[in-house]
Amino acid sequence: MGTINSAFSIISRALEADQAALSVVANNVANANTPGYTQEIANWEENQPLTVGGISYGQGVSETGAMSLRDSVLVARLDQQNQLASASGTRLTALNSLEALFPPDSGSSSATAGDIGNDLTTFFGSFASLEANPGNISLREEVLSSATTLAGDISNAAASMNAQSAGLGQEAAGVTSQVNSLSTAIAQLNHQIQTSSPAADAGTLEDQRNEDISQLSQLIGINQVKTENNGLSITTTSGQLLVAEGTSFQLSSGVVSGATHFFLGNSDVTAGLAAGGGQLGGYLTAATVDIPSAMAALDQLAYGVSTSVNALNNSGTDLNGVSGTAASPLNVFSEPTQVAGAAAQMSVVMTDPSQIAAAGAGQNAGDNSNAVAMANLANESLFQPVATTSFSLTQNLSSTTPVSGTVTGSALVYDSLGTSYNATVTYTNLGSNSWGYSISLPDALTADTGVAGQVSYNFGAGETVNPGTNLTISGATTGGTATIVAPTITPGEAVGSAGPPPTGYVASLDSALTAAGITGVTVSNTGGVLTIAGATATSGSVIADPVASAATTGTLTFNASGALVSPASDVSGIAFSGLGDGAASLNLTWNLIGSGGASSITQTAAASAQTAQSQNGSAGLSSGQTPTDFYSSFVSTLGATVAGVQAENTAENASVSQLQIQNNALSSVNLNDEASAMATLQTSYQAASQVFNMLNVIITSALNLGVQTAVS
């Protein structure tokens, strides 16, 4: 049977429980705006009932402590999404700075400063203007002025990109101290939580740890692993330990080859961090992927423009009648030695406008053919160097298995304007373990049909007609139309030197036309340009041989075992000049390294792939883009990257918002809820207090045995 004392006990516990619950509410309200605070609710528990004589008597309820409303899975998911959003946000900021270097030109009368697209057009356009009056100094100064603007804008853009890259490296390095501070704090909290609350939610300690992990997620990509006793280990997304329960590992940074790298212990974790996410991932992606990619494109543009323009200017004749030579080049731009760094180093080295070679090779100063060629560069593909080219040969040249007669091998090589040639090596068996070799470079000249009714071929200086020519010409005869195959002539006859009256190859063509009864077709050779006018049709092409250096012929000697004995090293100094497209001399090194112990040159090709082989030629950029096409493509690609990252960031932020809403719905303090709970608890407390008063009256009455005044 219950007593008044037990009733007192129940009601006083109710008062204590209400008081404790009110304290939980007060704590929630006080921390409503505390970052990372998780809403707590009072935990009610029924007291153990008292059983007397087989009858149970309730003992009321107690408040056993506050419980945080937390969803660990949701919190971890939010952290992961924060890593992605933070990475893309940081990368987007960097990309916005990068794209600001290449603003779209509105097309208004005043071009946007630093507009490389406009600079390119103006520069090549200045050569087009020079076509009209090649001797005009003011037009020549315009060429140098526009070249200076172009070089300045490209090198400034490159310098800005380098500065941005360095700035990103410094900002990334600055993140490490925050990461270390947070990982240390998390390790300490791990220790406290494992000590104080190994089996249950640690409340505010847990809140602090989650808040630190959330901040860490903004900085770098991490994975969390729960350990025993409510502990936690944290690794980078690539698996390196940052926190192992109560121990933290410090991230450090240092400069390696000019770039900021990150280390955990002795391990370089830069690549993993770049791919991992967080601010650091964003910084590193921008610094190691986005900016280098843009810089590589700008380098290609600068290299292509500089080398192409220099090569053409050196191949022509300037206003003083001078042509560039290796010793005294007539370079407009500083000649880059490699693609990397070409943009940053781009500058105009020519100061005298009269050195612009508007005239073609061997022409007088009033000629404009080279200015035309340089203006046409605007519509031709840009170039980049080719590192290696291998001659291939399938026949076995060893002395042990000699073949008779001649065999040939070939390789595709490129000149400085990107024209390809099938360089051919012809081997002749000389007996006695020896083979003679001869390297040739047939130059298939492209017909110029720009003027209606005539076809012309521009022979390079000193180029000779190759007997293999297969040009056919059709023209009117008195009886209809006839076609001739252009005659072959003795190799070595120069085409580029003679003028009227017709001599040499021109005379041979004239004779052939006359013999065929073709009238009205005139063949002329002016300044190395073979012109066939009045023909009703031409087909085929003219093949010519550029001037070759002495190094194009020699002997290969094998020993009795079939191994190459001589030459003992690479054949260098092979050069071809006077190319029909006006390109600079093509220099080759024929790599024989690796053939010493081999039985045939076939194996040399394989060795070449592993050994640097020099060639000053070049190949067209992908898809043969013109400078403007290339820049347009560059702008579109960079813009698409920015737009892509922008879209990615927007989506990730939306996802973060959704997850945050879900988490807030569960864990944030709602003041209305708290006000309601407080009102309820206050009412409960008041009710308990009333009961307590009533019990007090009852027990007083009992003690006084009904006398009202004895004890009050």
555 forms part of the interface with other proteins (CB under 8 A): no
Q: What is the DSSP string of 330-354?
A: --SB---SSSTTTTTT--B----GG
Binding string, 447-466, against other proteins, x = CB under 8 A? Answer: ---xx---------------
Residue at token pair 């879900």:
662
633 forms part of the interface with other proteins (CB under 8 A): yes
Ranges within 292-321 binding other proteins (CB under 8 A):
none
CB 66, CB 200: distance < 8 Å: no
How far is it, in rounded angstroms, from Cα 597 to Cα 444? 37
Q: Which is nearer to other proteins, 334 or 531 (CB)?
A: 531
How far is it, in rounded angstroms, from Cα 482 to Cα 518? 7
121 forms part of the interface with other proteins (CB under 8 A): yes
672 forms part of the interface with other proteins (CB under 8 A): yes
Rounded to a whole number of angstroms, the minimum distance from the CB of residue 228 to other proteins is 32
CB 477, CB 516: distance < 8 Å: yes
* Helix/strand/coil for 486: coil
How far is it, in rounded angstroms, from Cα 131 to Cα 136? 10
How far is it, in rounded angstroms, from Cα 284 to Cα 671? 42
Q: Using alpha carbons only, give the angle 671, 216, 291 rounded to the nearest 5 degrees.
A: 125
How far is it, in rounded angstroms, from Cα 431 to Cα 437? 13
**Total of chain residues touching other proteins, rule CB under 8 A:** 74
Handedness of CA 697, 701, 706, 712 (dihedral sign): negative
The Cα-based distances of 552 to 349, 398, 616 in angstroms read: 34, 21, 16
CB 209, CB 73: distance < 8 Å: no
Rounded to a whole number of angstroms, the minimum distance from the CB of residue 45 to other proteins is 24
Ranges within 66-105 binding other proteins (CB under 8 A):
95-96, 99-100, 102-105
Q: How far apart are the first and last CA of the chain?
A: 26
Binding string, 354-373, against other proteins, x = CB under 8 A? Answer: -----x---xxxxxxx--x-
What's phi and psi for 424, nearest 5 deg?
A: -120, 135
Binding string, 586-625, against other proteins, x = CB under 8 A? Answer: ----------------------------------------
The torsion of the CA quartet 170, 176, 181, 187, rounded to 10 degrees, works out to 170
676 forms part of the interface with other proteins (CB under 8 A): yes
665 forms part of the interface with other proteins (CB under 8 A): yes
Rounded to a whole number of angstroms, the minimum distance from the CB of residue 368 to other proteins is 4
Q: Which is nearer to other proteins, 122 or 613 (CB)?
A: 122
Ranges within 474-533 binding other proteins (CB under 8 A):
499-500, 526-527
Helix axis angle for 137-196 and 278-285, nearest 10°, is 160
Q: Which is nearer to other proteins, 430 or 661 (CB)?
A: 661
Rounded to a whole number of angstroms, the minimum distance from the CB of residue 609 to other proteins is 37
Rounded to a whole number of angstroms, the minimum distance from the CB of residue 292 to other proteins is 18
CB 305, CB 297: distance < 8 Å: no
Which listed residue (238, 557, 639, 685) binds other proteins by CB under 8 A?
A: 639
26 forms part of the interface with other proteins (CB under 8 A): no
In terms of Cβ atoms closer than 10 Å to its own Cβ (0-12, 13-18, 19+), residue 505 is buried
For residue 261, list its beta bridge partners. 254
Q: Which is nearer to other proteins, 105 or 493 (CB)?
A: 105
Rounded to a whole number of angstroms, the minimum distance from the CB of residue 634 to other proteins is 8
Rounded to a whole number of angstroms, the minimum distance from the CB of residue 131 to other proteins is 5
Rounded to a whole number of angstroms, the minimum distance from the CB of residue 686 to other proteins is 13
Rounded to a whole number of angstroms, the minimum distance from the CB of residue 256 to other proteins is 31
- The stretch among 236-244, 341-349, 575-583, 640-648 that binds other proteins (CB under 8 A) is 640-648
- The stretch among 76-84, 128-136, 148-156, 611-619 that binds other proteins (CB under 8 A) is 128-136
646 forms part of the interface with other proteins (CB under 8 A): yes
Binding string, 131-170, against other proteins, x = CB under 8 A? Answer: xxxxxx----------------------------------
651 forms part of the interface with other proteins (CB under 8 A): no
Q: Using alpha carbons only, give the angle 241, 242, 245 rounded to the nearest 5 degrees.
A: 90
